[in-house]
Amino acid sequence: SKIWNLFGTYVFFLLSSAGCHEKANISIHIEITAADFHERLLSGKMMFLYFQQQVSPTISLFLVELEKSAEALQDYGVLVGKVTCKKEPVQAYCTDAKQQHRAFLFRGGKEFLSFSLDTVFDVNSIVAEVLFAILRDEVKYVHTDADLQTLEEAAKGKRDIVLGYVRSLGTQEHRSLMETAYVYGSKYQFILITGGPVLKQLGYVNESSQLSRVWFVHCRVHGAVMTPVTSERCPLTRMRTALSTLSLHTFLQLMEAPLVSKVFVDPSSVPPPQFPYQLMPQVFLFSHPATEHLDLDTASALAWRLRGLALLLLVHRQSPAVKTPEKYNAAYRLPEKSSEVKYLTLHSLDDVLELFTNSFRLEDLLDVSSENSNLKHGKERRELDDEVAADVYRNRGHFLDLDQVTQLTSDNFHSEVAQSSLTVVLFYLKWDAVSMAFLGSFVEVAEKLEDSRVDDVQMCVVDCGEWTDLCAAQPGTAVPFQPITEFPSVLLIRRQQAAQRYAGALSGEALHRFVMMSRLASPLLLSTNEEVTSFLQEVPHPDLAGFRPDKVLGLFRTESRTGLSVFTEAAELLAGEVLTGLLTDGLVEKWAVEHDVEPPAVLLFPSWGKLSHPSALPVTSSSKDLLTQIHSALLQPAPELTVENLPSFLSLGKALLLLFVGEEEDEIGRRQNQALVDQMRGVSERGGARMERYLPCWIHLGRTPAGLSVLGSYLGSLPPLPALVLTHLLSGDEVYQYPPNTPILAGSVLQWLQSVEDGTESPAGMLGGDSWPPAFEFYDFLKVMDMQEVDPRSPEEEEVKTEEVNVEEHLVTKTMPYDHLDMNSKFHSEL
């Protein structure tokens, strides 16, 4: 390849402290021996290698990125591999502890360049850094405008320059630029800048606020038409789209388009531009025979100013095929309306520029707004340690439209709630990232209800940062809920009833489904066979199409009414989660005989089961016990865990017998995964009563990629898949792993569980602690407050403080409900 001829032999190594097993589907060439390493090094092949020494959860996740980079770097002739030091020790790279977190690039059998492992943390940074190292003699790195001017002088008359600015190295933008340089390096001179004087020369004062940019510097003669700029500097064109490999390729193709194209037909007869110019507008100017040369110069000057914005075509009126009236001297065609040409009468070239630069004015204004915001908050623009917080920060300039929700205050709370039979209230804090992220979903639910013409539900929000007295109202006051101590919180409030807390996933889809089901009576009185059939088989609302809820039927004789109040109370608590129905006298006996139960009884129809085979429960003496039994009976044997339902399963208080399966590549893989899930269900069935303390379940890593991080955190490394672990034991934080490479069969799993219970199995890992300390020292606000509370003061300072407080007491005219809250350390912890 070109790179081999130009740069010789490269070998790239990653050294770290990882000791994790790779996923089962890692390609064979990823794992190499020490002998393979020395052989390939001497053969001159380029290799990207990782030397595995110790166990580290962070590096176990890095192995996933390493696997991804293998496929990406293969296109560039780079082999990716991993050497396990415990099995295949390599001198100096497996024994030297100082090299554990360094990456090395080898050329010609010797060390050429080293990197910190922090710079090659994912597939983008790996590919970008490797290609940057390979192309270091082709891609120039300039720091000053003088350096750039020198390169321009050397390129004049020879080739054009692609000038790229990336906010930081190792990003997706950096990778895109390096991949493009690999392909076009012999045609263009690629130059990389990271801000400073060069960026200021290009007109960007605050580089820390800018997105990645690319400019095309025109230093080569384009055909017979020279650039209209006679200064010492080459003219440049800025790429106006986001930087990616595809967009950069399209931009370079556009820069190769003719500056001015001559046509001899009407603009309406000119075909729309073809790939790769199909998204570019076309501008038509008309030329007269008497002024042909002047018109060409005018068109060329305008074409330079429209470079990257539109394609310019010069229509020669001397052609008999041109029928456009003389009153028009210009026309244009937009890409989204490829068949429509609009004709204009313009008085200056600035009119054309105004027309086509307006489409980019919004983008420029957004850039300026972003720059001004970051000038003010420049030090805050860092990678946040929380994905939700980072997303909220990126969208901080997008203000939500709260017209579809009612904003509650201490003054209007009671009057607003009284207007609707069902009020859904979101309690949030503006400075809480999760609150702000969920607020957008909450508004979307309100809009969806409005579109569906649902008029019996009122969606409301309370900003607890502003209305602390409402959110912290104590028991005994007029509000129908306990003080709000978790944010965000959603309560469903009905007239003359206690508030119901929404405990589902913080997503718009889950909340919308919960609200729609909460509108239905719970329990729903069923008096005919048609009503029962509709209850069991039909969708309760068109907006819930495709969703099959769990359903519960109560069988109670009217004359005895035994257990009816218990069932009714349980049904009210199940509102929104489960559809509940109550059969009247005539139907009770029929259903009791048909399903061989003795009233009072409860029939359960889980969403995963068959309607013809419901399970039956007796009515207990308390609604709490009945709820527990209903939830247990509705639980699917060996359910699939997802991010949304994991909290509800953890709340059951059972140990998780958790199976991790990978993504299937074909039908055979799907059948294999299904067989594993069937074995897990067999564990539940064969285990009987002893399995009451366990919850057999499974995670599909293709549908729930977050499970990969969970598995790595459990064991400290990624084992081969499938992997079976026992975790969240009530007796401790130990994590046990079912023996790898052992067939997962129901009987074998039960025997292994018995070994764990007998204490003959050793744990493979430990759960992390529940402590969630602040990400940084200066984020520990409670510690700062406590320090201020115990801050020693001199007697004079204490006297001044006392005087200030006394003055404040005289100014207070109204005692608020939260004035007497016990603001001690326990209250801090609760918040």
DSSP state of 709: H
Confidence at residue 365, expressed as pLDDT on a 0 to 100 scale:
32
Say whether both 617 and 720 belong to one domain: no
Say whether both 316 and 339 belong to one domain: yes
Cβ proximity of 418 and 457 under 8 Å: no
- Which of 123, 156, 191 lies at the terminal end of a domain, its last residue? 123
Say whether both 312 and 179 belong to one domain: yes
Q: Which of the residues in the chain have pLDDT under 70?
A: 1-29, 55, 58, 99, 194-195, 204-210, 222-231, 336-339, 356-399, 475-477, 546, 559-560, 768-831
β-sheet bridge partners, residue 661? 700
Inter-helix orientation angle 564-573/623-634, to 10°? 60
Say whether both 168 and 303 belong to one domain: yes
How many domains, the chain? 5
pLDDT one-digit tens code per residue, 658-689: 999 988 878 888 889 999 999 998 998 888 88
Say whether both 108 and 145 belong to one domain: no
- Which of 709, 732, 766 lies at the terminal end of a domain, its last residue? 766
Cβ proximity of 639 and 645 under 8 Å: yes
Cβ proximity of 225 and 259 under 8 Å: yes
pLDDT one-digit tens code per residue, 459-474: 999 999 888 888 888 7
Nearest to 63 by CA among 101, 24, 21, 95: 21
Confidence at residue 637, expressed as pLDDT on a 0 to 100 scale:
82
Q: How many residues does the chain have?
A: 831
User: Rounded distance, CA 350 to CA 283, Å?
Assistant: 13
Residue whose pair of structure tokens reads 């129905």 in the numeric block? 581
Say whether both 143 and 259 belong to one domain: yes
Q: What is the Cα 403 distance to its own chain's centre?
A: 27
Cβ proximity of 458 and 423 under 8 Å: yes
Say whether both 651 and 594 belong to one domain: no
User: Rounded distance, CA 409 to CA 641, Å?
Assistant: 39
Confidence at residue 216, expressed as pLDDT on a 0 to 100 scale:
92
- Tell me whether residue 558 is in a domain: yes
Phi, psi dihedrals of residue 165, rounded to the nearest 5°: -120, 125
- Tell me whether residue 720 is in a domain: yes
Say whether both 189 and 297 belong to one domain: yes
Say whether both 696 and 567 belong to one domain: no
- Tell me whether residue 242 is in a domain: yes
CATH (domain of 492): 3.40.30.10
DSSP 120-156: S-SHHHHHHHHHHHHTTTTSEE--SHHHHHHHHHHHT
Say whether both 97 and 245 belong to one domain: no
- Tell me whether residue 369 is in a domain: no
- Which of 464, 484, 509 lies at the terminal end of a domain, its last residue? 509
User: Rounded distance, CA 373 to CA 356, Å?
Assistant: 27
- Tell me whether residue 10 is in a domain: no
Tokens read off for 583:
């059969």
pTM for the full predicted model = 0.48
Torsional sign, CA 749, 752, 756, 758: positive
Say whether both 295 and 210 belong to one domain: yes
Nearest to 426 by CA among 346, 515, 359: 515
- Tell me whether residue 364 is in a domain: no
User: Rounded distance, CA 132 to CA 102, Å?
Assistant: 17
Nearest to 158 by CA among 205, 88, 202, 217: 217
Confidence at residue 699, expressed as pLDDT on a 0 to 100 scale:
92
Confidence at residue 75, expressed as pLDDT on a 0 to 100 scale:
85
Instruction: Tell me the CA distances in angstroms from 592 to 18, 598, 599, 616, one per residue in order.
Output: 62, 6, 7, 10
Residue whose pair of structure tokens reads 């539900």 in the numeric block? 457
CA-CA-CA-CA dihedral for 234, 235, 240, 243, to nearest 10: -10
DSSP 420-466: -SEEEEEEE-TT-HHHHHHHHHHHHHHHHHHHTT--SEEEEEEETTT
What string of H, E and C letters represents the secondary structure of 72-124? HHHCCCEEEEEEECCCCCCCCCCCCHHHCCEEEEEECCEEEEEEEHHHCCCHH
- Tell me whether residue 822 is in a domain: no
Cα three-residue angle 19-23-28, rounded to 5 degrees: 95
Phi, psi dihedrals of residue 316, rounded to the nearest 5°: -90, 115
- Tell me whether residue 178 is in a domain: yes
Say whether both 192 and 263 belong to one domain: yes
Domain that holds residue 455: 391-509
